[in-house]
Amino acid sequence: MEFGLSKSHTNNEKVQARIQTALDWLDSKSTDELLAEPIGNKVIAEGVELRFQSYDSRQYDTMNYETHREHVDIHYMIKGAEWVRWADEGTADAVSEYDPEVEIQFFGHPRTQHGKALLTDRHYATFYPADLHAAHGVVDGKVGHNRKVVVKVAID
């Protein structure tokens, strides 16, 4: 999530260009075109992979937080609604070891307050490697079906 102290901000031009490539690609497609994409992975540029998903939202207490070391995540809701939450690295205990094959590590719920945003049609949230994040959260206590794409932006 883009949040922090301005003195800590670093701008990696390659990563920012990849993020813009992804957002431009998504903006160039209609909702119907995005919904017609097959579930699965699609590389659209060097260092930019789209992962199209279809799933039901979940209760917060059943979710783990996650983080990645080698990429930025952009959660882009095509159609549906869910709560996404985030917290700073170091605010939750690890519940798994880092898995370099899948490029993920899971954490429990933060010990401190977390941020929360509602993703709805054509909205997105960007999570950087230091962001613990949990997605797929139910809205208004009701499970809903979502179509989303998670963009994996390499930071190398």
pLDDT at 1: 46
Which DSSP string corresponds to 128-144?
Answer: -TTEEEEEEE-BTTB--
Tokens of 122: 């054509």
Which residue segments constitute the domains of the chain, with CATH numbers given? 6-154 (2.60.120.370)
Stated pTM of the model: 0.91
pLDDT single digits (tens) 69-101: 999 999 999 999 999 999 998 999 999 999 999
pLDDT at 8: 45
